[in-house]
Amino acid sequence: MLPSHYKCALALACFLPLATAWAQNPTGDERMRVCVSVLSKGLESGMSADDYPEQAKREGRTGTAQVQLAVSFTGKMENASIAQGSGDTELDQSAVTAARRIFPVTSPAPAQCRLGYAFTVTLAVVYKLLDTQ
């Protein structure tokens, strides 16, 4: 159990999108960068300290869960899943649950991500505890 002067923090980092169409289309570079930025900011702004599981906070568990967001060629969110786990199932599940809440399946992707082809983007959700003293 951690002393009470620790507080939780969620940090997000963006990884390169795994989009073959992007790699084959140099004119899509900037559009994909904008899309990744929008998805990353959307995930970051949609998450809060409540997305850090209480038990994990109490036990001082930290980790980075890489969440994969899939967008269909029609511009709809298809899925959120774990691309690479943090080593902590509870943190991984919390990251996916938050991503699915923020980007519900079948909802329209942000306008900047309606590119006319399907792709996936992997974003990292970093769970860490900050010493507030």
Tokens 């906070």 belong to which residue? 57
**Secondary structure element (H or E) that encloses residue 120, with its range:** strand 119-131
Q: Which two tokens stand for residue 54?
A: 């209480």
The residue with greater pLDDT, 93 or 9, is 93
pTM, two decimals, is 0.80
Beta bridge partners of 65: 125
Tokens 């942000």 belong to which residue? 110
Query: 109 falls in which pLDDT band (50, 70, 90)?
Result: very high
- pLDDT tens across 78-100, in order? 999 999 999 999 999 999 999 99
Beta bridge partners of 76: 108
Domains of the chain: 6-131 (3.30.1150)
Tokens 């309606």 belong to which residue? 114
Tokens 């951690």 belong to which residue? 2
Does the structure show a pLDDT above 50 at 19? no
